[in-house]
Chains A and B, each alone.
Chain A
Amino acid sequence: MSIPLIGYRREGPEDQPPLDYAGYGSTALRHPKRPLVPLPHGLTEITGPMFGHEKVGELDHDLTRQHAGEPIGERIIVHGRVLDSDGRAVPDTLVEIWQANSAGRYAHERDQHPAPLDPNFTGAGRCVTDSEGRYEYVTIKPGAYPWRNHPNAWRSQHIHLSLFGRAFSQRIVTQMYFPGDPLFYQDPIYLAVPESARHRMVSMFDLDRTEPEWALAYRFDIVLRGREQTPTEDPHD
């Protein structure tokens, strides 16, 4: 049986950080040295797990209500849309997040930063996009924290995000940053992305979505690869 398939758009070096980036020391022994082998998109690459509501609990989208008390910090709403590069909404897709607390400490046994843990903050959330690709979290703004990449190195404030989209080819793990962070200039994880694409990782302050007397808001739209315009011609798959 022959099956004509429409693959996903390829990404270029202008879109993504290189795997080998001298400024980020941990890449040195953790990047392949041989060139990646181009793989035509077949059924495996154009399908993927389509997880939705079965993975999400009632309070998973609100990181400020997962414990007996409220976490310390600046309460924020983080929201946006998940789209493909043709501007089409990606509905019913799982968005997972994790982050440091407001003092810049992760609730993880291997985080040795001498900042306080917060008994009311774990820092993990899940939600599913609606029919128009919208998602929304309530959380607290994560603090900056030091790391050992270079002398006096600090990570920009960020929230980690993980998305499946609807295909193995669309899978992405990224980080959302906050506008105007003074730490960007020395953060190699942020700087590894080509300059013209860095703004795509930075959220926008969103006055319209703030809740008066309660929370500030940031908008972060996430763009996954769109489809090719024509079926793949490659004989492999």
Chain B
Amino acid sequence: MTEPLGVTPSQTVGPFYAIGLPWEDGPYVVPAGTPGSFEVHGTVYDGAGEAVPDALIETWQADPDGRFAHPDDPRGAVKWDAFRGFARVPTTPEGTYAFRTVRPGRLPSASGELQAPYIAVSVFARGLLNRVVTRIYFGDEAEANAADPVLRSLAGDAERATLVAAPSDRGYRFDVHVQGDHETVFFSI
């Protein structure tokens, strides 16, 4: 077998990514007005507790049936036509972000049990030489969260709590702490 090619290294998005990356429909995992949809919103903080005004949040999630419209999901066709699964939102000058989505369905694990529902997240920013990856779980899914293999694998309740979004009047609130006392758990993938 031949040696794999070397991958292209990551570089920061820098302070001016807004020239090229934001999309008008970026915040819509599902179209506005989709029944059952809600916002996930929050603030991105740095290690000094300051809001980060030039971060970019991207998300990826299963549809309400726990499926992906993708050839590598072996379970076949999906039925949610207007479901994009993806959001891209820049943070505001106050460091806040919001996107509109629906609750993802639960995914099967290799051993057949169901995982707690979650949304995968990438955070990009000036000062981040590579994206950091985390997950949003739902605060009103206590039973599923308690049984979830990824959440259970974390060191303790404080770490788990950084991944759980609290119900709010708009939907769910999820703050990202890139560094600091409340540092979010980030994954290597």
Hey, which chain A residues are within 8 Å of B154, CB to CB? Answer: 37
Hey, which chain B residues are within 8 Å of A47, CB to CB? Answer: 60, 68, 70, 72-73
> Main SS of chain A's interface residues?
loop
Among A39, A160, A189, A192, contact of B17 (Cβ-Cβ < 8 Å): A160
In the complex, B168 has a CB within 8 A of chain A: no
Docked-complex contact B6 and A15, CB < 8 angstroms: yes
Total residues of chain A contacting the partner, CB 8 A: 84
Docked-complex contact A48 and B187, CB < 8 angstroms: no
Residues 149-161 of A, flagged 1 when their CB comes within 8 A of B and 0 if not, give 0000000000010
Q: Which residue of A lies closest to B88 (CB)?
A: A49
Q: How many A-B residue pairs have CB under 8 A?
A: 236
25 contacts between A and B (CB under 8 A): A15-B9, A26-B126, A28-B127, A29-B50, A30-B125, A30-B178, A30-B179, A31-B127, A33-B179, A42-B110, A42-B115, A44-B60, A45-B120, A96-B20, A108-B16, A110-B15, A172-B10, A174-B8, A189-B12, A223-B6, A224-B7, A225-B7, A226-B4, A236-B150, A237-B107
Total residues of chain B contacting the partner, CB 8 A: 71
In the complex, A97 has a CB within 8 A of chain B: yes
Interface residues of B in 42-85 (CB under 8 A from A): 46-48, 50, 52, 58, 60-62, 68, 70, 72-75, 84-85
Q: Which 9 pairs between the two chains have the least Cβ-Cβ distance?
A: A98-B20, A26-B127, A30-B127, A47-B70, A29-B47, A124-B20, A39-B187, A36-B188, A49-B86
Among B73, B111, B124, B187, contact of A38 (Cβ-Cβ < 8 Å): B187
Docked-complex contact A45 and B189, CB < 8 angstroms: yes
Hey, which chain A residues are within 8 Å of B18, CB to CB? Answer: 108
Q: Which residue of B lies closest to A231 (CB)?
A: B110
Given A29-B127, A30-B52: A193 and B9 within 8 A (CB)?
A: yes
Please report A residues at the B interface, Cβ cutoff 8 Å: 1-5, 9-11, 15-19, 21, 24, 26-34, 36-39, 41-50, 55, 83-87, 96-98, 106-108, 110-111, 122-125, 160, 162, 166-169, 171-175, 189, 192-193, 197-198, 200-201, 222-226, 232, 234-237
